[in-house]
Structure 1
Amino acid sequence: MHRTLLWLAIGAFAIGSEGLMIAGVLPRIAHDFEIPVAQAGHLVTIFSLAYAVGSPLIAVATASWERRTLLMTAIGVFALANFAAAAAPSFAALAAGRVLLALAAGAFMPTASAYAATAVAPDMRGRALAFVYSGMTIALVIGVPLGTAMAAHLGWRATFAGVGVLSLVVLAGIRLKLPPVAAPPAAGLAERLAVARRPEVLAVIGLTVLVLAGAFGIYTFIGAYLETVYGVPPEMVALALVLAGVAGALGNALGGYAADRWNRRRFLALILGVLVVAFAALSALPELLPGPLGLAGALAVLVVWGLFGWAFPAVQQVRLLAIDPRLASITLSLNASAIYLGSAIGAAVGSTIAEAHTVAAVGWVGAAFEAAALAFLALSARRTAQAAAAAG
């Protein structure tokens, strides 16, 4: 399994490095373009909205494409968009580059997930999806800290150029190593919307929106949080992200195992309860424990966040596959859109709160969204139980 899916995981690593490193390089971008950090944070919102809207539309437009060809095209465009971002002469040009990056990522990731899910036996789907998403968590361990360190020494443009080169390597790997796979039965936009309206699908993707809104309400500003609240230099921000990334890699593996073996709804409730406390702690710590003790507490929160937050994606994807594996290409693309819709909402709300108050206040934003997600999970469980009882 791993040999077949390796290049998909490396592609996820490239996409994750670009998408997640923005938090570490945001202060450098803001400085170069002479804009506030909160305004630079809109780069996350722009990317997320373009991904959320573009991913299902691209899926419809490319429904008849052979899967390997689609993966190669997506990662090729992603490479070119990174080079364009590296050369951006203005903030507006960089924002346009991030739109193109989002569209390419929105074509690649759902296709990679669906490819992985159909390449293994049903009882291995959680682990296959976790393996592909391990590229994202390894991006947290290696790609994001490396990008942050490169930005500190070579400038933020070097980080985009580096991801562009890696994406070209992935393009070659997919072309040489990944077997071609025929396109699944074509589904138009109307059919996709019909699937999205199914209550059981809405319950999953609605939860995804809320959870990711909470996460990106904070993650967008984590570099600025560490630098402004605790005076952490850029190099130590990179080390903090390595710590979070190692925990995220463990959490991703845990999520894949839990998705195949444990009660998924109970495990999700545990994840959300932990995240509510962890995110609230980020805003409370500067007042309760200023100085080194507060910084140590913030780093502990990052570890907990990585461990439990990265256990979430695989569980959600397997929940969607369990509804109807034949709808995988549709439901996984909808979930990908939900991820980035949530990211856009969280980044926008976080930017507003950071601008109106302080960067330290974004922890309350994350905690509020995760509390709403926990309530939503309980409500959807109750409705499902009522529907089952009525049908019985």
Structure 2
Amino acid sequence: MFGTPTSLIWLTLGAFAIGTEGFMIAGLLPALARDLNVGLAPAGHLVTAFSLAYAIGAPIIAVLTARLERRRLLAVAMSGFAFANLLAALAPDYATLLTARLLLALSAASFMPAASGYAAALGGPERRGRALSMVTNGLSLAIVAGVPLGVLVGEGFGWRANFFVVAGLAALSLLGILAGLPRQPAGTTASPGGRLALAKRRDVLLVLATSVLTVAATFTIYTYLGVFLADVAGVGPQGLALVLLVFGLASAAGTRLGGDAADRWGARPTVIVGGGLALLAYLVLSLGPGLGPTSAMPVLLPAILLWGLASWGLMTAQQARLVALAPALAPVSLSLNSSAIYLGSATGAAAGALIVADGVAEHLGWVAAGFALSALLPLLADEGTRWVEVDAFGEDGGGRGRRSALRNG
């Protein structure tokens, strides 16, 4: 039975806290560097360390916690996240803050896949996409509200105040999880061989490849959106804040629409449509530099709206695709997707850095379009092939490992 929306709000709040902390850090780097007496490059390593710890930790943690009852796992993860924010807020030096960021990453890597798996199981096959979108909505809402508010709080009260605020949000989410979520058993536990087989499955790898390339396209521009808009359209800080608000609102709407579309028309068609629309948005952004500063924004703003709508809606459908491929191993497959997302964000940011370093920020749209086009190729490679799960991964009641095979449908 699908749980009430209220029962999933606490997971949305937890995702909002995690998204706010993750996205706001980039805007705090100059203040962090000055206060801790380090350069901008070491301060930037706080972002790199978080991404790598999350990408590597998510699948490992999913394996280690596979037998834990789901509500307990969510509570432990959110407790660790709240504590790590307090540690960051009180950090006396760079090493302590780096340690806090690593703990934040591992806590987030424990919470997000488990929250998505919990929501998917609670929603059932009929409303799986909608349930997943409620969790993902927390991340998109972080872009809408958390990031702009984080900048304002940092400017008014210092960067440490942001970590105190996020710790409070995490504590509220923890209380809601303990009081408002029903217990959920761990479900079928995969054998080590079954887990390895899942990671090697061609259909799973194709879905993950789409996730990596889609997120790489997004972060190629998003990481340097301020530089891009300043060079192309002469947009200043206040204009950038408005653009980020528009992007965040579009992302939130896309998350919900993507879940609904996956339930109604299927996850794969939703990804194809979303990928095509995102590619169109990047191509329009690429044409902006030729319009001149005066005429660029009326063209770029609708493209940015479409970009946020399509890219976030696509990622919700991607989660639904993975869950459908191996429902019993949803926490493992979703943790792999989380790693793919962070690998994609690192790839996109690195690619964007190379473009910006060459002084040609106006070319960011073309690079993003290349990633977006590449993201559609795994979908085309899978066309005409229907993968049917013959047997479920896992162990039977007697502890004997069961074999899973795939065949063309």
Normalising by structure 1, report the TM-score: 0.88
SS in 2 for 1:125: helix
Q: Which amino acid aligns with 1:343?
A: S
Q: Is the 8 A contact 1:45 1:345 kept in 2?
A: no
Match of 1:79, as an amino acid? A
The separation in 1 between residues aligned to 2:198 and 2:151, in whole angstroms, is 40
DSSP 3-state at the match of 2:15: helix
Report the 3-state secondary structure (helix = DSSP H, G, I; strand = E; otherwise coil) of the residue aligned with 1:308: helix
1:289 corresponds to 2:264: no
Is the 1:24–1:237 contact (alpha carbons within 8 Å) kept by the matching residues of 2?
no
Taking the aligned partners of 1:2 and 1:333, their CA distance within structure 2 comes to 24
Q: Which runs of 5+ in 1 are unaligned?
A: none
Q: Is the 8 A contact 2:267 2:320 kept in 1?
A: no
Residue 303 and residue 30 in structure 1: after superposition, are their counterparts in 2 closer, same or farther (change >3 A)?
farther
Among candidates 259, 268, 288, match of residue 265 of structure 1: 268
Partner residue, 2:13:
10
Residue 283 of structure 1 and its aligned partner are, at CA, apart by 4.6
Asked if structure 1 preserves the Cα contact closer than 8 Å seen for 2:228 and 2:361, the reply is yes
Distance 1:92 1:98, change over 3 A: same
Bigger relative contact order, structure 1 or 2 (CA pairs below 8 A, ≥6 apart):
1
Q: Cα distance 1:185–1:270, how it changes in 2: closer, same or farther (>3 A)? A: closer
Partner of 1:377: 379
Which letter maps to 1:308?
A: A
Alignment CA distance shift 1:19-1:125 (3 Å)? same
2:398 — aligned with what?
none
Deviations 1:330-380 (A, max 9, x none): 212211221112122222222233234344443333222111112222123
Residues 81 and 297 (structure 1 numbering): CA distance in 2 closer, same or farther, change over 3 Å? farther
Match of 2:332? 330
Residue from 130, 139, 145 that aligns with 2:142: 139
Match of 1:54 among 57, 68, 73: 57
Stretch of structure 1 that moved more, 318-327 or 82-91: 82-91
- The residue aligned with 1:366 is 368
In 1, distance between residues paired with 2:273 and 2:39?
39
Counterpart in the other structure of 2:89: 86
Distance in 2 between residues matched to 1:46 and 1:224, nearest whole Å = 24
C-alpha change, 1:391 and 1:177, in structure 2 (3 Å) is: closer
- Equivalent position of 2:207 in the other structure: 204
Identity between Structure 1 and Structure 2 (%): 46
Contact 2:220 2:351 survives alignment (8 Å): yes
Displacement after TM superposition at 1:232 (Å): 4.2
* Structure 1 residues 34 and 336: CA distance shift in structure 2, 3 A: same
For structure 2, which runs of at least 5 residues remain unmatched after alignment?
388-406
CA distance in 1, matches of 2:299, 2:79: 41
Q: In structure 2, what is the Cα distance between the partners aligned to 1:16 and 1:335?
A: 16
Write out aligned runs for 1:218-257 (5 A): 218-226=221-229, 230=233, 232-257=235-260
CA distance in 1, matches of 2:110, 2:322: 19
Deviates more, 1:347-356 or 1:72-81: 347-356
Correspondence for 2:114 among 111, 114, 137: 111
Instruction: Tell me the residue number matched to 2:311.
Output: 309
Does structure 2 retain, via aligned residues, the 8 Å contact 1:149–1:238? no
C-alpha contact (below 8 Å) 1:24/1:238 kept by paired residues = no
Choose the corresponding residue for 1:186, options 189, 194, 199. 189
Secondary structure (helix, strand or coil) at the match of 1:119 reads: helix
Point out the more displaced range, 259-268 or 205-214. Answer: 259-268
Cross-structure match for 1:348: 350
Q: Which moved more, 1:185-194 or 1:254-263?
A: 185-194
Higher helix residue share: 1
Mapping of 1:72-83 within 5 angstroms?
72-83=75-86
Q: Write the mapping of 1:18-33 to structure 2, written as runs, cut at 5 A.
A: 18-26=21-29, 29=32
2:390 maps to none
TM-score normalised by length of structure 2: 0.85
**Matches of 2:276 and 2:34 in 1, distance apart?**
37
Paired amino acid for 2:321? R
How much has 1:27 moved relative to structure 2? Answer: 5.6
Aligned 8 A contact 2:219 2:349 in 1: yes
Greater Rg by CA: 2
Distance 1:319 1:360, change over 3 A: same
